[in-house]
Amino acid sequence: MSELQFTTAERREPEAPEPEPVRGRWYRNRVLRAFSWAATLAVCCYAAIRLLGLESGWALVATLAFAPYAALAALLGAGAQAALRHWRAAIVTGAAALAMVAVIVPRAIPDEQPAAAGAELRVLSVNLYVGVANLEYVIELVDRYEPDLLSLQELSPSAYEQLAALGLEERMPHVIAEPAEQAVGTGVYSLHPLERLEEAEPGGIFHQIAAEATLPGGEKARFLAVHNAAPATSERIPSWEADLDSMPAPGGEVPWILVGDFNATLDHRLMREIIDEGYTDAADATGEGLSTTWRPVEGGYLRGLVRPPAVTLDHVLVDERIAVRDFAVLDKKGSDHSPVVATIQLPA
């Protein structure tokens, strides 16, 4: 190679490297955004069903029982979308979540009570879990709270006999009971004389006993031991709807008190319609409306590893003229339902 050729080769400029392709930012990934919008759509549909009362069929009815959890999950989802800078989806999801929160949070705020000046009553509800709950605990609750009226659901013949042997009828001598196997049986126990009102009793698959109690001062109150069908399968939905539609209407001369296992939450349209007719939910009125009362003892999903979260199925509904002085969800022993107790005051 000549000196001239060598010098020319040395002075040749090196070729510039080809620029690397510009990659989009990971949070703008189309697949990720598609999933994000799908989640937003699901939240909006759920919120619309809850707010407009559009639930029908087993899947929607069962799912709406968990509305407080869904609202919380939607808020967290909106936060996650904001963290991913998917702002439009975050705004829509957040708006739907806040709409649900707006109708759920007031349950934790006590309401002003009507000016009632009549007799005070204490009512207690216990679900006996097909008769195998801790029956001595029932007696303990009666001794502790001294209820005027007691609603027992799922009262089996053996449980009825055992409670009598434990002295329940000595403590609460006025009894109307329909014990039966499985979850069918129901009992009403009272400190005061009772007159059964069979014409007011819903004709569901479980016994639901209606009675009029006469108090010492001559005042009267009507009492229904509630146990609605559970919407556990698609076949049970018609029975569940019929039971809720058959609740006695308030507003008569003698006020109604509905106590027991409604198998419905305040997020179900039919339950809200009952209240809108002129009832007050005692838990809601005292700021305890988010206290849960039911969770399965066993079972669930993934071979029992995942159980459904607790929901509020047990209620004390009173005529809106009645004042609710106190309400509490009690510890449960041997049952899938927590007992509930309320102190109420009748109108003058």
Average pLDDT over the chain reads 92
List Cα–Cα distances, 115 to 151, 297, 321, 322, in angstroms: 26, 41, 8, 8
What is the four-CA torsion angle of 347, 324, 256, 240, rounded to 10 degrees?
Answer: 160
- Per residue in 1-41, pLDDT (tens digit) is 455 454 554 556 666 666 655 455 656 678 889 999 999 99
The whole-model pTM stands at 0.89
> What residue segments make up the domains of the chain, in order of their start?
26-107, 115-345
The CATH class for the domain spanning 115-345 reads: alpha beta
Which residues make beta-bridge pairs with 153? 127, 186
The tens digit of pLDDT for each residue in 150-165 reads 999 999 999 999 999 9
Tokens (6 digits) for 63? 């799912």
pLDDT of residue 197: 98
